[in-house]
Amino acid sequence: MARVLVTGSADGLGLMSARLLVDQGHSVVLHARSEQRAEEALGALPKAEAAISGDLSTLAGTHEVARQANASGRFDAVIHNAGVGYLKPRRVATEDGLEQHFAVNVLAPYVLTALVTRPDRLIYVSSGLHRGGSADLTDWQWQNRPWSGIQAYSDSKLMVTALARHVAGLWPDVLSNGLEPGWVATKMGGPEATDELELAPVTQAWLAVSDDPDARVSGNYFYHQETCPVHSAVLDPEYGAAVAELCRAASGIELPVV
């Protein structure tokens, strides 16, 4: 039996992934942005071990999630599922002054990766839209570009996909992979989504706990349990290092080196 933390698991794909793992007999700790939402998550999945809370759009909230996670004990796997979607009509700045997509989709996974006691496996939920992301980091805060919610989302998913591969190279003792669950009809995906909803949580659960040799790899990117193409920048070690450096500068936290 594995012990798994799933961020952003009060509803949607995070809750689906958690339920799948619990049904397989694993111990799952849920996460939500507030105590009330954490209680609601436990109500939706009472067989979960526990639920922790903290707002991943803020550094203080992300630190609190890491604190609660470590206080509960070491995890075998962490699924970085929490995310902000692509329908924001304008740029939103967090209380730390950071663009919201970057703060939640990139910086929060980075900070949790650095602060949560190192698990055996790390899974970063990305999106097929990362292939449309821009690898130009000169205006990563969206201070000068005309706003585009879908572009900000795509850029953030490109960054977190590169982060997953960067961590794989940095920590050879950890299996670190990215994935896309598909375009499915969740609150984020919307009602027009065309992929099969029941398949969406399977790959992240499989990467978190499976003994299948195909799942026991690192630095890869998956769709429905199969490796698939990525944006060329993901394969560039310099881009991955640049993303990690942005996160270090924004958070003041270094990723420990083995």
Active site residues: 153, 157
Largest CA distance in the chain: 49
Tokens describing residue 32: 């939500």
Q: How far apart are CA 93 and CA 85, in angstroms?
A: 15
Handedness of CA 80, 228, 233, 239 (dihedral sign): positive
Report the chain's terminal Cα–Cα distance, integer Å: 27
